[in-house]
Amino acid sequence: MQITQRNIGLTVDDSLMRVYVAAPEPAGQYPGILFYSDIYQLGSPITRLADRLAGYGYVVAAPEIFHRLEPIGTVIEPDELGKLRGNDDARRSEIAHYDADTRAVLEWLQAEETVLSDQIAAFGFCIGGHLAFRAALQDSVKAAVCCYPTGIHNGKLGRGVADTIARVSKLNAEILTVFGTLDPHVPSESRQQILQALDEANVVHKTLLYEANHTFMRDDGYRYDPVATDAAWGESLEFLSRVLA
C-alpha cells in the first residue's frame, strides 16, 4: 500500500529527538513498530527499510539514536570515518538514555490515534537489533525482530556494560533473531550464547541464519545480499503478522 512520511520531535531529558514516521496512507488503525537504525542513523538505506515495512500495514517510528550527541538530522556516512564516529557515539551514550528514548517512542506510539496500542513491536539492525531486543523488556512490546544484533552477548551497547542478557527472563515478547554466518561481530559462539539464554528463560523465539555478512540488509554497501534480505523480510513479515494478529 502507499505510505506517508513525516518527521516529529520528541523531547527526552531536554534533548530534542527526531523520529522519522512512515505509515500507511489509507485511513485506519495499524500495529506500531519502534524501528532502530544501525550506528549511521537515519540515512536513506534505513528509511527505505522503514518505508518498506510501513507499506505492509505498520506505523513505523524510527528515532535518531544519537540525538544527544549529534545535531538533529545528522546522517553518519557508512565509510571508515563514519564507522569511527558512529562507534564513538555509541561508546559515549548512556544505557539509561537509550532506555529513556525507547520509553518515549513507545509512549508516542501508544498515544497515536492511528496505532493499535496493544499491537506494538520493535525492529532493529546491528546496534539497533540490540536496542530492539532491549525494547522487548517493556511490557507494551509484543514482538521484536533483531537483525544481526551486536553486544547482547557481552553487554557492549554504550557507556558501561548493558545488562540485557541478564534480564532475558523478564521478556514477555516473542523474539526473532536474524544472523549471518559470515558476521565477524556476532560469531557462532556469540549467537549460541544468546539463543541459549532465551531457551533457558523459556522465551518464545525463532532464529534465522543466512550465509551472509554483517549488515547484509543495507543496500548501499559491499556486504548487501539481496537474496538473503528478501528471505529475511519474508520471514520477518510473517512473524510480525502472526504475533500482532
Judge whether 33 and 173 are in contact, CB under 8 Å. no
Name residues whose C-beta falls within 8 Å of residue 213's C-beta, 6 or more positions apart in sequence. 180, 182, 183, 223, 225
Of 38, 89, 183, 225, which is the active-site residue?
183
Of 126, 147, 205, 225, which is the active-site residue?
126
Mark whether 126 is an active-site residue: yes
Query: CA 88, 91, 94 angle in degrees (round to 5)?
Result: 130
Mark whether 183 is an active-site residue: yes
Strands (E), 155-221: 174-180, 205-210
Mark whether 146 is an active-site residue: no
Judge whether 61 and 33 are in contact, CB under 8 Å. yes
Query: CA 50, 230, 110 angle in degrees (round to 5)?
Result: 30
Catalytic residues: 126, 183, 214
